[in-house]
Structure 1
Amino acid sequence: MSHLSRHVLRPLFVAVAAVALLAVAAPASAHGIRSVVYADLSSGGPGVVHAQLQVEYDLLVVSAADAAKDDALFRDGTEAFEARHADEQAAALRAHRDDVSAYVAERFRISGAGSCTPTPADDITMTQQEGVPYAVLDLDYACPPSENGHEVVSSLFPDDEGYVTDTKTILTYALDLHEGSTVLDAEHPSFTTAQSPLERFWEFFRLGAEHLLTGIDHILFLLALIVGSRRLREVVIAATTFTVAHSVTFILAATGVVAAPPEIVEPTIALSIAVVGAWYLWRLWRGGKVDQDLSHAHGFLRLDRAGWLRVGVVFLFGLVHGLGFASALGIDEPWSWTLLWSLLVFNVGIEAVQIGLIIIVFPLLVLLRRRFPRVGTWASALLAVIVTAAGLVWFVQRVLGVE
């Protein structure tokens, strides 16, 4: 171990415990407490829009009971939830069908030339999304004739209810001679079937960019790749490998070709953060070079054996991150070219943020390491320690199921 390595890393490893204690306070998912609503719209006949909604059972129970001041719904629904029996859960919702339907209809609205009038759900059944019980409600909205399509507004499970911090509604539709998908949330709660393809694709681009920006685990993984790259070619090859890998599994998972349980995907994502961060620390401990070069050296793809091994590890972990991206998007609809383009645009949004982070962070690290080598090494190692500690803590939390 080099003299510099000992003096840089020994104090930093003392900081791991403090960082780990801070990370314990963070949520295990690193994405916050979120909910996803699935909505499917279709024509129910002349002047009728049929909506099938899938919503989280426990959220529906507490939110509808609170809105209607229905203590019996809360009691019956909670008991059925704790029993973990789908038939009992469906029966609890059917017994309070009016209050449940009223809550959903008030917060999932459709209009044409005027407001559409919903009818209470004829039946309520149960399904699951990634192991979580979901209630399925079918509502018909009677709408006045409209030549300009229909507008949908979703405000289900808003933040001010205090049960979740973010709700996204994945909306699929085959209505008004249009079909496709879009995403609604608190900042963009409405959608119209008269929207242009460009407007629809913008929604998915924005969603992809926001997902990477708000997904601290993916951000830390990318920072670990950047800080562990000595030269421009290393960070470009690593980032490109990560992009190719997660793009493949993202498309396959989002279109239903492959699937993996979140109990495996989420801990593996956390572990990938720790591994890539620790890789740099191990190399620094061994006295490896930490200088970076922005010039295009001869033989851009020339890496040593350790470099190619790192690329292989990044590729494998990228495959898992792609499954995480698909899970966050939550698309559940049949294959179509519109779906494919929407997924590609979502992925472009992810890549735009990824490239932006590389453009900002990598040159700053290079400048710091060139002008102030010792400070630059300290800063890089400290960042790697933080990334590694956070990844390890999240890994343990996700394995144990700690929220």
Structure 2
Amino acid sequence: MPGLVRRCAYLLIAAAILLSAVPASAHGFSSTVYADLTAPAPDHVRAELGLEYDLLVVSAADYEKDDPLFESGTAAFDSGDATRQAAALAAHAASVNKYVAERFTISADGQACTPAQQSNFTVQQRDGVPYAFMVLDYRCAEANAHEVRSGLFPDSETYVKGTKTIITYDLDLQQGSSALDSAHPSFSTHQSTLERFWEFFRLGAEHLLTGLDHILFLIALIAGSRRLREIVLAATTFTLAHSITFILAALGVVHVAPSFIEPVIALSIAVVAFWYLWRIWRRGRLATDLETPSRSHLSLDRAGWTRLAVVFCFGLVHGIGFAGALGIQQAWSWTLLWSLLVFNVGIESVQLALIALTFPLLSAFRKTSPSVALWVTGAIAAGVSVAGLVWFVQRL
């Protein structure tokens, strides 16, 4: 049996090393488009759009076969001069406008609206990269409802994958927000509040399920928790911490560069996993003991409380990472803020579901074969720790 356990441990560590070969930027969406829609008149919809500058240049240039746009736009990007970048877009406004207008459409009761650019391009830093801002006015027939569809920067262009379009709107006597992607590319201004919140709940759930770094962090917490009380406290602490920074980021109070956040998230995975390995090294076979001598009402020893403090600190960082997944870097309307909180609920629901599915099985395994469970969970922790360290180095 020990030989089998050892081989299993080696396989698990090897799997973790293979997982660590996944691109270091395993967290977050590849690109986010922002759109603010208003209605200056009954037959008029104004769209203020924010798009990643370099992505807009290469996509529009490829779409319109406009090599001069690519050359001048790329040179302006390399210069870091926002004025020069805006001028490059303005010099090729026809190509840029055609690309955006054909991939971001608005219709009124089924009739297509006609767009026209109404202001000069501007370029500002957002989320650490230059964003191009433009205003399109859509002339529409008077209607009771508008449908908005976004196909900007699709996967088929191969430049990015998984573009999200975050929309806030004040149209048709309705105020709200929506999140569009390739699976759900359109919405109607007459969607219900439940439908709008479901979109963000789904996004939150998908983000955790597809965010391998967050999954590994949760696995490290589960493997290092011996009792249900411990994992519940750890998960609650993590939830509280990342909810705080998520909300602060959504309100525009907190802003930390992704170049700092992403390596720290990777480091948090390694530290939480290594914490359990350190406990095994300190206590040996006694690490399987479920009884912890303590006078605390929560039955946590000093190491348990220290672990919660570490989880809380890293949870604060993960919260900024969650906000960064939607590009939240400045204050938004209260309507969008509530939607973002639902996004957070989606994250928590998946997290709790994973705990509910895995921890009872782990507990049963520990009761029937405590020594084998110790080695297996130790191997898992070792593999997760290796993956976190490799990502940390890559992200630096």
The two structures share one fold, judged by TM-score above 0.5: yes
In the TM superposition, what whole-angstrom CA distance separates every residue of 1:319-354 from its partner, at most 9, and x where no partner exists?
111111111122467554423321221111111001
Aligned counterpart for 1:265 among listed residues 241, 261, 271 = 261
Q: Distance in 1 between matches of 2:349 and 2:256?
A: 26
1:136 matched to which residue of 2?
A: 133
Q: Which amino acid aligns with 1:311?
A: L
Q: Of 90, 103, 112, which aligns to 1:94?
A: 90
- Map of 1:371 onto structure 2: 368
Corresponding residue for residue 310 of structure 1 = 307
- Give yes or no for contact 1:246–1:322 (8 Å, CA) kept in 2: yes
Corresponding letter in the other structure for 2:106: I
C-alpha separation in 2, matches of 1:322 and 1:391: 18
Give the aligned residue type for 2:209.
Answer: L
Tell me the C-alpha RMSD between the 2 structures. 2.5
CA deviation after TM superposition for structure 1 residue 52, in Å: 0.9
2:387 to 360, 383, 390: 390
Is this contact kept in 1: 2:126–2:329, CA < 8 A? no
C-alpha spacing 1:318/1:283, structure 2 compared with 1 (3 Å)? same
Q: TM-score, normalised by structure 2?
A: 0.92
CA distance in structure 2 between the aligned counterparts of 1:289 and 1:101, rounded to whole angstroms? 67
Q: Please tell me the residue identity of whatever aligns with 1:206.
A: R
Indicate whether 1:60 and 2:56 are aligned: yes
Distance 1:241 1:344 in 2: 17
How far 1:84 moved relative to its partner? 1.7
Aligned to 1:220: 216
Q: 1:198 Cα deviation (Å)?
A: 0.9
Pairing of 1:48-197 with structure 2 (within 5 A): 48-113=44-109, 114-147=111-144, 149-197=145-193
The residue type paired with residue 37 of structure 1 is V
| Change in 2 beyond 3 A, CA 1:193/1:118 | same
The reply on whether 1:249 has 2:239 as its aligned counterpart is no
**2:211 corresponds to 1:207:** no
For the structure 1 residues 154 and 367, does the alpha-carbon distance in structure 2 shift closer, same or farther, using more than 3 Å as the test? same
Which amino acid in 2 is paired with 1:156? L
Contact 1:41–1:49 (Cα < 8 Å) also in 2: yes
Cα shift at 1:29:
1.3
Q: Residue type matched to 1:380 in 2?
A: T
Residue 273 of structure 1 contacts residue 391 of structure 1 at CA under 8 Å; is this kept in 2? yes
Offset, 1:368: 2.1
- Give 1:121 deviation, angstroms: 5.0
> For the residues of structure 2 that align with 1:309 and 1:332, how far apart are their CA atoms?
31
Question: Any conservation in 2 of the 1:97–1:121 contact (CA below 8 Å)?
Answer: no
1:266/1:333 Cα in 2 relative to 1: closer, same or farther (>3 Å)? closer
Distance in 2 between the 1:283 and 1:342 partners? 40
The letter for the 1-side match of 2:262 is E
For 2:27, the equivalent position in structure 1 comes to 31
Q: Mark the CA change 1:63 to 1:364 in structure 2 (over 3 Å): closer, same or farther.
A: same
| 1:95-144 deviation line (CA, Å, top 9, x unaligned) | 11001000000000000121101113541110121110111111100011
Q: 1:314 to 1:9 in 2, by over 3 A?
A: farther
Change (3 A) 1:116 1:333: farther
Deviations 1:278-305 (A, max 9, x none): 00111112216443769xx997611111
* Offset at residue 65 of structure 1 (A): 0.8
- Runs of 5+ consecutive residues of structure 1 not aligned to the other structure: none
Shift of the 197–24 alpha-carbon distance from structure 1 to 2, 3 Å rule, reads: closer
Residue 323 (str. 1) matches residue 320 (str. 2) = yes
CA shift for structure 1 position 235: 0.7
Q: Distance in 2 between matches of 1:336 and 1:39?
A: 13
- Quote the offset at 1:32 in angstroms: 7.0
Contact 2:221–2:231 (CA<8 Å) still a contact in 1? yes
Alignment equivalent of 2:298, drawn from 289, 301, 316: 301
Structure 2 unaligned regions, length at least 5:
none
Equivalent residue, structure 1, for 2:279: 283
Aligned counterparts of 1:338 and 1:195: Cα–Cα separation in 2: 14
Seen in structure 2, the aligned counterparts of structure 1 residues 293 and 357 have a Cα distance that, compared at 3 Å, is: farther
| Contact preservation (8 Å) 1:54, 1:134 | yes
CA apart distance, 1:261: 1.5
Residues 283/167 of structure 1: CA separation in 2 closer, same or farther (3 Å cut): same
